[in-house]
Amino acid sequence: MDLRCKVKSDDMILRLAEAFDFKFNGEIVTEIKDLPKLPEDFSIGLIVGPSGGGKTTLLKSVGEIKNPVWEKNKPVFSHFSSYEEAEEKFGAVGFNSIPQKCLPYVKLSNGEKFRCDLARTLDSGVVIDEFTSVVNRDVAKSASNAIKRYVEKKQLKKIIIASCHYDIIEWLRPDWIYNVQTEEFHSGRYLRRPEIKIDIHKTNWKLWRVFEKFHYLDSKINKASRCYAGFWNERLVVFGAVLASPNGYIKRGWRGHRTVVLPDFQGMGIGTRFSDAIGQMYIEDGCRYFSKCMNPVFGKYRENSPLWKPTSKNKVKRTDVKHKNVFKGHYADNKRICWSHEYIGK
């Protein structure tokens, strides 16, 4: 297809054309190759190439590009038809920070806005332009990985994405890729997600200051806790804290106290696997390791993981306490139903 744009000529533009020996008659014609014949059945397709290569034009030839509208003073979480839909869609794009879900769209960072826009648009048959163009590369990779997992889980079909970035390809793992620059069309089904290796180091509670505002309950941390920091390619990405939890039945009991992944790296599965690794360390040392949480990402993961087993308090509303307090050395809450598990390990 040819894109034609007529402009008004003047002395400045004619001088520019002459200086660079550019033939200019008041009209710019850009030739864009049509998309090849697309497969009948696919989940994700990716159009990739440099800016100005015609990606947006190709997208418009296969579907309508939709931009969600956000109310200025309304929390982003409240823009969905139900609580369940909001939880599912935000989880799909790796937007898991509870405090940030309570903010209006205008108060979010570019990376958070990007994830929220994806959550509102992600469905079968959508076309998404400028994918990851306004975010850093960590957010781009984590969001791509989260979307791939959600699309596979929900069996969504015929999602077409355009991006000028090539570093997302192995994280998004599309069924097909069309490069507008080389005009190559090939399968992406052979791709495998890059390995994520987290190095765990002991630290102290002072590092919590980096993570505290992203925790879903409050910003407090017990200074008696054992603390751990997780690094990916020498970059700090996750923090964990553990507390001793002895009682008359368990002599060497420990429980998870805090686990937080920095927002740019959410959606990669780092938090749950980091928690597994901490639990493994303790049971290999002859201890028992427990965890109680209200975060649905962690709770649902542990429900399906062979590494964890539910305790007698799992998803049971506490009736043995009158209010939220420390009950016989354990945190108890009679207002919320929590996930409660013991790590049994490999």
Spatial distance between the Cα atoms of 134 and 118, rounded to a whole number of angstroms: 13
Q: What is the mean pLDDT of residues 99-106?
A: 92
**In whole numbers, what is the pLDDT of the chain averaged over residues?**
89
**Higher model confidence: residue 307 or residue 35?**
307
End-to-end Cα spacing for the chain: 57
Question: What pLDDT does 326 receive?
Answer: 46
Phi, psi of 89 (to 5 degrees): -70, -40
Phi, psi of 31 (to 5 degrees): -90, 130
Q: What is the mean pLDDT of residues 210-238?
A: 90
Query: Is residue 258 helix, strand or coil?
Result: strand
Q: What is the mean pLDDT of residues 148-159?
A: 94
**Higher model confidence: residue 51 or residue 75?**
75
Reported as a pLDDT band with limits 50, 70 and 90, residue 296 is confident
Token pair belonging to 206: 């002072």
Q: What is the mean pLDDT of residues 195-201?
A: 96
Q: Is the pLDDT confidence value at 265 over 60? A: yes
Reported as a pLDDT band with limits 50, 70 and 90, residue 178 is very high
Reported as a pLDDT band with limits 50, 70 and 90, residue 240 is very high
What's the CATH superfamily of 32-72+121-187? Answer: P-loop containing nucleotide triphosphate hydrolases (3.40.50.300)
Q: What is the 3-state secondary structure (H, E, C) of 60-107?
A: HHHCCECCCCCCCCCEHHHHCCCHHHHHHHHHHCCCCCHHHHCCEHHH
Reported as a pLDDT band with limits 50, 70 and 90, residue 217 is low
Reported as a pLDDT band with limits 50, 70 and 90, residue 8 is confident
Task: Write down the CATH number for the domain with range 198-343.
Answer: 3.40.630.30
Angle (CA) 310-312-318 rounded to 5° is 120
Going from N- to C-terminal start, the domains of the chain cover 32-72+121-187, 198-343
Q: Is the pLDDT confidence value at 7 over 90? A: no
Question: What pLDDT does 25 receive?
Answer: 82
**Residue 243: closest CA among 222, 272, 212:** 222
Q: Is the pLDDT confidence value at 286 over 70? A: yes
Q: Is the pLDDT confidence value at 325 over 50? A: no
Q: What is the 3-state secondary structure (H, E, C) of 119-182?
A: HHHCCCCCEECCCCCCCCHHHHHHHHHHHHHHHHHHCCCCEEEEECCCCCHHHHCCCEEEECCC
pTM of structure: 0.79
Q: What is the mean pLDDT of residues 228-242?
A: 96
327 residue type, one letter: F
